[in-house]
Amino acid sequence: MVVASPQPGAQRLGAIPSLEEAYEACRRETEAWAKTFYLGTLLMPPAKRRAIWAIYVWCRRTDELMDSPEALARPVAELALRLDGWEQRTRELFQGKVSDGLDRVMVDTIERYPQPLQAYLDMIEGMRMDLAKTRYANFEELQLYCYRVAGTVGLMTQEVMGVDAAYTSAPWSERPNTSEAAVALGIANQLTNILRDVGEDRQRGRIYLPLDELERFGYSEAELLSSSLNDNWRALMRFQLQRARQWFARSEAGVRWLAPDARWPVWASLRLYRGILDVIEKHDYDVFNKRAYVPKAGKLLDLPFSYLIAQAR
């Protein structure tokens, strides 16, 4: 591991704290910004949960380059340069170069659980898509975006999660593609984010719902921008929720083969995040004025059910 002097203007956790301090900073940040996700990580063994916190914070730093209030006020050219710098720093990170606490925990995580560099570079490409695109013509375009900004997380974390010993001894014909399942879960989560955040994204001038599907359901871009709630909107949203649930279902085959100490937390996170779709329905698809989330009591009540499902595999 090479410890370098902090780079000017770098996103930082601090002045290269100890490994324990840096992991604790990641824990606190995950708890503050991803409560449902954080709850799931607490069901993991300590080493795995710390690795997941580190990866989460790296992903959040990447997202902040584009979506933080400070970033939104910057010109596109400057944001592009920031992404270029972040890509270079990420490549150096995989060579063991450390300039702050986040680098330190990421290098430790990569050493413990080998990570594919390409997944991280693909996520950065997803951020670059946001530089140039504010509309998506069809689902094929949107699926690529969802893979880059979220499906990649499945690839980043699959070595941390591990697989059941029974997976490696099962006949090839019975083994699902765990990488495809991991990507599917990330895409399902991102589609859920998009449906929950239609109102917020609209205010930023972004529409992620495929334009050809708006047209198919007779709902115009102007109506979306004006927060119009009508029967066409509800039909469109029912279709979108159904597709998101299909992606969650595609991920389940892989979740069933995860290592025993990862199945419960992943099932819990999957079920709780999918629950956001149920809340959108309860709100009669009003994502313009109501934010969909699963209440804390609902999260706690679901944990025993997720545990039983995880044991059954």
What pLDDT is stored for residue 235 in this prediction? Answer: 98
pTM recorded for the entire structure: 0.90
What is the distance between the alpha carbons of residues 124 and 41, in angstroms, rounded to a whole number? Answer: 24
Q: State the residue for tokens 């090479």.
A: 2
Residue 228 zone, left/alpha/beta (φ > 0; ψ -120 to 50; rest):
beta
If phi over 0 gives left and psi between -120 and 50 gives alpha, with beta otherwise, what is residue 197? alpha
Residues of the chain with CATH 1.10.600.10: 1-113, 133-313
Torsion angle of the four alpha carbons 234, 238, 239, 240, in this order, in degrees rounded to the nearest 10: 100
Cα–chain-centroid distance for residue 135? 20
As its CATH architecture, domain 1-113 has: Orthogonal Bundle (1.10)
> Residue 77 corresponds to which tokens in the numbers above?
């050219």
Per-residue pLDDT of the chain in tens (313 residues, 90 and over written 9): 554 444 433 444 446 899 999 999 999 999 999 887 888 899 899 999 999 999 999 999 999 998 888 887 889 999 999 999 999 999 999 999 999 999 999 999 999 999 999 999 999 999 999 998 999 999 999 999 999 999 999 999 999 999 998 888 888 878 888 999 999 999 999 999 999 999 999 998 999 999 999 999 999 999 999 999 999 999 999 999 999 999 999 999 899 899 999 999 999 989 989 999 999 999 999 999 999 988 877 777 787 778 777 777 5
Long-range (24+ apart) CB contacts under 8 A made by 284-289 are 284/229, 284/234, 285/229, 285/233, 285/234, 285/237, 285/238, 286/229, 287/195, 287/196, 287/197, 287/198, 287/199, 287/237, 288/198, 288/199, 288/202, 288/227, 288/229, 289/199, 289/227
Q: What φ, ψ does residue 98 adopt, rounded to 5°?
A: -120, 130
Position 6 scores a pLDDT of 42
Give the chain's length: 313
Distance CA 28, CA 45 (A): 17
| Token couple for 60 | 């959040």
255, 185 Cβ separation under 8 angstroms: yes
pLDDT of residue 179: 94
Classified by CATH at the fold level, domain 133-313 comes out as Farnesyl Diphosphate Synthase (1.10.600)
